[in-house]
Amino acid sequence: METGYGPLNGVTVVDFTHVMAGPTCTMMLADMGADVIKIERVPYEADGSHNADDPYWINGVSASYMIVNRNKRGLPLNLKTPEGVEIAHRLIAQGDVVVENYRPGVLDRLGVGYEDAKKTNPGIIYAAVSGFGRTGPYGDRPGYDLMAQGMSGIMSVTGEGPGRPPVKPGVPMTDITAGILLAMGVCAALRHREVTGEGQMVDTSLFEAGIVQTYWHSALSFSTGTAPEPLGSGHPLQAPYQAITTSDGHITISAGGWMWGGFCKLVAPELEHDPRFDTNEKRMTNVKELEVILNEKMSVKTTAEWIVELEAAGMPSGPINSIPEMHRDPQALARDMVVTQDHPVAGEVPVLGFPVKFSETPGGPIKPSTVYGQYTREILGTAGYSDAEIDSLIAAGATADSM
């Protein structure tokens, strides 16, 4: 490890990922300072992340590609050619980490799976994320975020109540969580290798990423033997803890436990000692009745007015922001969670920031996402290829440079 930008400065990652879960992992590693070499498809038309698979563009560049691929250096590589596989192995030999999120077995058939990588570099950390993991009866099954959310139980507790159609959260929760879990696993494996010299496989899945979101709900199920039901914006263990109607929208509140009395004094003093609501257990039993009363009481003021009063009383609350409103939120801006980058093609574009702050080794987005072929000669030159050899590899269709 070198000293410099980000705590993973000096770590080299060979990135065979695509879509969301894998790129989230390598983005996290890149934001922490790792040199991530993103392997892209050859020819350009075959690389869906760069072209027509994405309907959202900023000045001709895929918006979703840019937001999860900043800080990386791209290398187009045709792994169906012997030359492409040779380049991949040379990068693996010089690298520290391989990350991939293909269906299990795909990279094995191409000659760059874990066993192949381990022969090339015994100390390599090979990190993989898939729908269901590398073992078990579903190990070979393809899977996406929607299936993982359904099978992990998330969709069974999401929505407004029993008897309603299944609802998934509006974000790709298991994709992003799996990417974060894999990045955590890579960091732990790097520590193990630092101590022992041993590389290893790190394996997680969208299914497991969904399961770990159910800690509260699993605790309830383990203790009662029943299946938790959808609660809308509510909480399975505490009330009130949900979104409530105001005169101009909704507000989220948490007013259980010691906060109940103070909350009642602000909103409805008669509720504090109401026998239906004077303990958390009773409030949970009568939560729908409580919700109706609070919606009526709190609909007399705006969200902003209630937030001022609740904050003054030391009680948590917040608005329901749209995504653009979140982008403008002063706290998000103060924490550098929305920043701009100067992309060589798209121009100045906004991206989301890095959510972990380091006092001594700050991370975060410093380079915009790669342009197809932008770093080909730089990466292959560092890997030991001469200019003539790079020209030959491009002519053979094993790689490509800038368009």
Looking at the domain assignment, is residue 311 inside a domain? yes
Looking at the domain assignment, is residue 223 inside a domain? no
Q: Are residues 256 and 188 in the same domain?
A: no
Query: With contact defined as beta carbons under 8 Å apart, do 393 and 97 qualify?
Result: no
Q: Are residues 354 and 301 in the same domain?
A: no
pLDDT for 4: 63
Average pLDDT on 195-216 reads 97
Q: Are residues 194 and 58 in the same domain?
A: yes
pLDDT at 254 over 90: yes
Query: With contact defined as beta carbons under 8 Å apart, do 368 and 63 qualify?
Result: no
Active-site entry in 47, 175, 203, 401:
175
Looking at the domain assignment, is residue 98 inside a domain? yes
Query: What counts of helices (H) and strands (E) characterise the chain?
Result: 17, 13
Q: Are residues 247 and 202 in the same domain?
A: no
The reply to whether 387 belongs to the active site is no
pLDDT at 52 over 80: no
Q: Are residues 200 and 132 in the same domain?
A: yes
Q: Are residues 171 and 281 in the same domain?
A: no
Average pLDDT on 45-57 reads 74
pLDDT for 268: 96
pLDDT for 50: 72
CATH of the domain at 178: 3.40.50.10540
Question: For 193-218, b where at least 16 C-beta lie within 10 A, e where not — what string?
Answer: beeeeebbbbbbbbbbbbbebbeebe
User: Which of 260, 293, 321 represents a domain boundary (last residue)?
Assistant: 321
Number of folded domains in the chain? 2
pLDDT at 239 over 80: yes
Q: What angle do CA 392, 10, 113 make, to 5 degrees?
A: 55
Q: Are residues 190 and 50 in the same domain?
A: yes
Q: Are residues 277 and 386 in the same domain?
A: no
Q: Are residues 31 and 158 in the same domain?
A: yes
Q: Are residues 308 and 346 in the same domain?
A: no
pLDDT for 289: 97
Query: With contact defined as beta carbons under 8 Å apart, do 349 and 364 qualify?
Result: no
Looking at the domain assignment, is residue 400 inside a domain? no
Q: Are residues 254 and 203 in the same domain?
A: no
Looking at the domain assignment, is residue 232 inside a domain? no
Looking at the domain assignment, is residue 176 inside a domain? yes
Looking at the domain assignment, is residue 333 inside a domain? no
**Residue 2 pLDDT level (bands cut at 50, 70, 90):** low
pLDDT for 49: 75
**CB within 8 Å of 314: residues ≥ 6 apart:** 262
Q: pTM of the predicted model, to two decimals?
A: 0.94
Average pLDDT on 318-330 reads 97
Span of 49-58, 68-77, 85-94 with lowest mean pLDDT: 49-58
Q: Are residues 304 and 348 in the same domain?
A: no
Average pLDDT on 48-64 reads 80
CATH of the domain at 290: 3.30.1540.10
User: Which of 290, 321, 352 represents a domain boundary (last residue)?
Assistant: 321
pLDDT for 51: 64
Looking at the domain assignment, is residue 172 inside a domain? yes
Average pLDDT on 243-250 reads 98
Give, in order, the Cα–Cα distances in Å from 315 to each of 255, 257, 261, 312.
7, 11, 11, 8
Neighbours of 302 (CB within 10 A): 16
Helix, strand, or coil here: 247?
coil
pLDDT for 3: 54
Boundaries of domain holding 57: 12-212+338-395
pLDDT for 192: 98
Per residue in 134-179, pLDDT tens?
A: 999 999 999 999 999 999 999 999 999 888 899 999 999 999 999 9
Which two three-digit tokens encode residue 144?
């996406």
pLDDT at 116 over 90: yes
What percent of the chain shows pLDDT beyond 90?
91
User: Which of 292, 321, 350 represents a domain boundary (last residue)?
Assistant: 321
pLDDT for 81: 96
Average pLDDT, whole number, for the chain?
95
Task: Count the alpha carbons within 13 Å of 380 in the hemisphere toward its beta carbon.
Answer: 28
pLDDT for 97: 98
